[in-house]
Copies of this chain bind each other. A is one copy, B any other.
Amino acid sequence: MCIAGGMIQEIHGAGSRAAGAMAPASPGHEVSAREHLFFEGDVRDRIYIVESGWVKLYRTLIDGQRQVVGFANSGSVLGIESDMLHLNSCEAITDVVVRSIPASRLNGICKNDPALAEQILRQIGRQLGAAQAQLATIGAQSAEQKLATFLLSIAHLCEVSLDQEFDLPMRRGDMAEFLGLRLETVSRKMTEFQRRGWIKLTSLYHCRLLQRHVLEELAQGGEADSAQMLRTA
């Protein structure tokens, strides 16, 4: 999952309607920020498609440590990684509209609704790729690199064409749990990025990238010291 931009715009469109007498996809359903769509361990009776807003997916370890395994926004499919029970908890971080599909419809879906099935297959493949990318980030990068990678991903997801402002809808603690850091570390690095003129936080949840190339350099393993800043500028 990770930062999984969606592809499925019309998962309940003509193709799937053709399936006939199956349980239909629900109409858009509102969920407000801080509410959960489901918890780890719940029976997975439905899968969800995000229509608008942001959710986070996370797991809780026995000792209370949490790991956010992904943020998802419009177009993402939630719950396909699970079988009988949900493996992740899913909490809305903004107000959200979701559509859901009964899990029963997944049985024999390839026969009954090949168009939908193929979309789901592509979407889950994308999520797997994103999860693996996130593994690389968490496992092999420093705190600074992680944050740079993260900001670029979010900016990309928000489809920021050039360097205008974009939403950073999650709290510092969510970012930290996603990146495998402490929120203090995230906070420090954010202010550091700002002090160096790489980003500008217009509010706590609103950000602009001033030096995208420096962040890109960093994210890919560059040094990003001041000398490099000049070179690459």
Distance of A177 from chain B, by nearest CB (Å): 8
The answer to whether B135 and A221 have CB atoms under 8 Å apart is no
Give the segment of A30-38, A78-86, A165-173, A187-195 that binds chain B. A78-86
Please report the total number of A residues contacting B with Cβ < 8 Å: 52
Residues of B within 8 A of A131 (CB): 128, 131-132, 135
Residues of A within 8 A of B (CB): 1, 57, 59, 61-67, 69-70, 80-83, 87-88, 108-111, 114-115, 117-118, 120-122, 124-129, 131-136, 138-141, 177-180, 220-222
* Subset of 28 A-B contacts with CB under 8 Å: A1-B128, A59-B132, A59-B133, A61-B140, A61-B221, A62-B221, A63-B221, A65-B140, A66-B140, A67-B136, A67-B139, A67-B140, A80-B125, A82-B129, A83-B122, A83-B126, A87-B129, A110-B114, A110-B115, A110-B118, A117-B121, A121-B121, A128-B131, A131-B131, A131-B135, A138-B180, A139-B179, A140-B177
> Taking CB as reference atom, which chain B residue is nearest A180?
B139
Given the interface contacts A59-B133, A220-B61, A221-B63, does A82 sit within 8 Å of B124 by beta carbon?
no
Residues of B within 8 A of A111 (CB): 110, 114
Distance of A182 from chain B, by nearest CB (Å): 11
CA distance A114 to B108 in the complex (A): 8
CA distance A138 to B140 in the complex (A): 10
